[in-house]
Amino acid sequence: MLALLLQTLGITAPVFAMLFLGVLLRRVGWIDPPFIQTASALVFNATMPAMLFLGIYHSDLHSAARPAVLLYFCLATLVGFLLAWGWSIWRVPRADRGVYTQGAFRGNNGIIGLALATSLYGDHGLALGSVLAALVILCYNTLSSVVLAIYSPSMKSDPLSIFKSVLKNPLILSVLAALPFSWLQIALPGWALTSADYFAQMTLPLALICIGGTLSLASLRESGGVALSASLMKMVWLPLLCTFGAWSYGFRGAELGVLFLYFASPTAAASFVMARAASGNHELAASIIVITTLAAAVTTNIGIFLLQWGGWM
């Protein structure tokens, strides 16, 4: 368990390093709100789509992931999304409902979930996690686009406008563009892949620095109750419900383990970028990311321990 805890911290520590660097840079005046706004737009429209394209391009979509696993993940994600949205309608101010819902269901699976799956199960975990990652990106970005558009002060919320915003989402477009390249194993020139990789590598540091630059004690206090509620939903209640459902259905071994890791991942940094793009409460989004990332070092290890103790993974 100590080795697993250190492994988890080894994955999350660089995330915190970039967050605190953003706080420091903002404090000394090297970055400011205009920079954060411009950099967030660059991440959303360019560097993150490039990162997602490369992630799908290098994934083995022909890997032996059972359709039942993929279908269950889609259904569980939809149920979790609806539960988070329903709770927000009941208990969260209208202006924050879109950001709350996204923060409560959208996990950082492309980084933390996939890294832990690979560490636990090796190549099999990497293959299964990569196939799920393609599905994750489409599900998360589509549902997030819908709920953010409904509550956005700057986006139209009629069905046609929401449908158009989903289709124009750069993150979704990058995944759709990458799918035929990965499925048909179409090779791209080495120089193009290298250049794209240089560009994509800016995504996480830049996004996390922007989140850190947005954080303040005042914003954490103001969004404390709402952020904590979304974090509990993301790190405790939804992983419990979705993992129990997977266990009840009969998933065992690596399939159950990878599903748990994906359900239990902390909120993705992309939620901050999308909240800013939708003119939502990006300070609330940043607070949820920080709280869930801190909580992941505890909740993920507890979940893995319980599943291993029961002999189910």
* CATH number of the domain within which 53 lies: 1.20.1530.20
Percent of the chain with pLDDT over 70: 93
Residues 283-311 have pLDDT tens digits of: 899 899 988 888 887 888 888 888 888 88
Tokens 């400011």 -> residue: 32
Cα 257 to Cα 81: distance, rounded to the nearest angstrom = 21
Cα 7 to Cα 119: distance, rounded to the nearest angstrom = 8
Domain ranges, residue 42: 2-309
Band of residue 5 on the pLDDT scale cut at 50, 70, 90: low
Domain count, the chain: 1
Residues 99-157 have pLDDT tens digits of: 999 999 999 886 677 777 777 777 677 667 777 877 888 889 889 989 999 998 877 76
Confidence at residue 127, expressed as pLDDT on a 0 to 100 scale: 66
Please state the pTM of the whole predicted model.
Answer: 0.82
**Taking a C-beta distance cutoff of 8 angstroms, is the pair 102, 285 a contact?**
yes
Ordered DSSP codes for 192-227 = HHHHHHHHHTTHHHHHHHHHHHH--HHHHHHTHHHH
Residues 18-46 have pLDDT tens digits of: 888 998 999 999 999 899 989 988 988 99
Pair of tokens at residue 252: 């065992």
Buried b (16+ CB within 10 A) or exposed e, 99-137: bbbbbbbbbbbbbbbbbbbbbbbeebbbbbbbbbbbbbb
**Taking a C-beta distance cutoff of 8 angstroms, is the pair 150, 157 a contact?**
yes
Cα 183 to Cα 197: distance, rounded to the nearest angstrom = 20
Band of residue 256 on the pLDDT scale cut at 50, 70, 90: very high
Cα 272 to Cα 266: distance, rounded to the nearest angstrom = 13
3-class SS of residue 267: strand
Confidence at residue 138, expressed as pLDDT on a 0 to 100 scale: 82
